[in-house]
Amino acid sequence: SKFGGGSIYFDGTGDSLNPANSSDYAFGTGDFTVDCWLYKINTVAWETMFDTYSTGGSDGFICGLWDSSSTMGFYSESGIGWTNAGGTEVGLNTWYHLALVRNGNNIRLYINGTLDSAFASTTFSGALNNSSSWIYIGETRTGSDETNGYVDEYRISWVARYTSNFT
């Protein structure tokens, strides 16, 4: 674990957390932050940190590690599509703090407190989960693209916690 003596372990074969459907995940156009600590054990083709799915199916988003390069990627169903431009690689056997932040129309990804260069100018004005939604942690809604490693201190906040690099 990174803090407190315990974390969740995903072995990469069908593990995930899937809290009940809730309007708590209806971010809409508001500010929010989703962050966690990740300790990867193995690199797989795509590792999902979180995936949201709305009851309408048209305004969810996915954030995770892209392909075998293990750089951050973001996908929005409601217009932005895939965003990944190479960015910072997340390596094995090391704790990394990952944060997805929406601040107004800015979508930012931070790794260990540093803005990932691939997301320095990503903007999006549409809604992200404007209705009651599900959230998947550790795999996608289709049961694929599993994380292989440990996740600690997973947090969802309805504020933009980070708007510049932080320690």
Cα–Cα–Cα angle for 13, 10, 142, nearest 5°?
50
- Tell me what pLDDT residue 82 has: 65
pLDDT in tens, 86-116: 678 889 999 999 999 999 999 999 999 999 9
**With the C-alpha atoms ordered 4, 165, 116, 35, is the resulting torsion angle positive or negative?**
positive
Instruction: Please name the amino acid found at residue 154.
Output: Y
Contact 70, 90 (CB under 8 A): yes
More confident of the two residues 26 and 110: 110
Task: Please name which of 101, 108, 91 lies closest in space to residue 47, comparing C-alpha atoms.
Answer: 91
Q: pTM score > 0.85 for this model?
A: yes
- Tell me what pLDDT residue 81 has: 62
